[in-house]
Amino acid sequence: MLDLEGMARILPLLFTPAIPIKMEEKRVLIVDDEADICNLLSWILRQRNLLPFAVNTLSDAQTALKKEEPAILFLDNYLPDGFGVEFLSFIKKNHPAVKIIMITAHDSYSEKQHALKKGADFFISKPFTRALINETIDSLIL
């Protein structure tokens, strides 16, 4: 018989749908300076059989993108070495196939519009839910 902790580990596996995507599209880059956000997103993505990898700065993101192009990139706006929204033009110019999901705790209407105009495919406010992350990924992949 499972205890509560065991049930908490198993239930998400039972209710998280798997989606068919090409092997080369399975990588997801997370750019956020908050370890808990990176860990939470990584956990959600692994539940979907995606392969997340995380970095904490824009310069590390640039290095990671040179090594491997992900299908999806989660990008925080406020990072130690700059603003994610200003990094969007670099991504769109050098990696146009990458789908970008901006995630930020600062979610004013003007900031959202600015990010979408600069090339973000989606804009998600923190805190977010697993359901919202899954719906967003579904709309990008399917």
- Range 32-59 average pLDDT: 96
* pLDDT at 135 exceeding the cut of 90: yes
At residue 48, the pLDDT reads 93
Model confidence, pTM:
0.81
Which domains does the chain carry?
A: 22-141 (3.40.50.2300)
Taking residues 76-93, report their average pLDDT: 96
| CB atoms near residue 64 (< 10 Å) | 19
**Residue 73: strand, helix, or coil:** strand
21 burial level (CB within 10 Å; 0-12, 13-18, 19+) = middle
Question: CA-CA distance, 54 to 42, in Å (whole number)?
Answer: 8
